[in-house]
Amino acid sequence: MTTTPIISLDDEPAREPLPCLVRFLGFDLRMCFSAREFLSCASGEETQCLALDVAMLSTTGPELQAKLAWLRETIPIVFIMAEDDHDRKQVLIRRGAVDCLLKPFDDELRDALDRAFP
């Protein structure tokens, strides 16, 4: 498998399972801890997929998705959700998200990343 840069955005850097799982699956990882940091950092230019928590503290994942659409950035997004919200999931998918994964997840992340990189 070719390694692919993935940016994981989350306001809580103590959450280690996602970065570890992404690396375990064989993908490169760049970490940004806020939407603002992501939008201002050079690594955003090389981002090929985003793993976003829906409920980030400063700017939510859906708000960043909307901002990227406004900027005409077409980066595949895999959203992470703590609560099963079917309606919200459908809205995010309609707006272009690859998937919305409910915590805890494992194999579902591999499947979503495979769809993000056809």
**Domains (range + CATH), the chain:** 5-116 (3.40.50.2300)
Question: What is the C-alpha separation between 25 and 104, in angstroms, rounded?
Answer: 16
Residue 98 in this model has a pLDDT that exceeds 80: yes
For the stretch 2-38, pLDDT in tens is 556 777 776 665 466 778 888 888 888 888 878 888 8
CB–CB of 33/9 below 8 Å? yes
40: burial class by Cβ within 10 Å (0-12, 13-18, 19+)? Answer: exposed
Q: Whole-model pTM?
A: 0.86
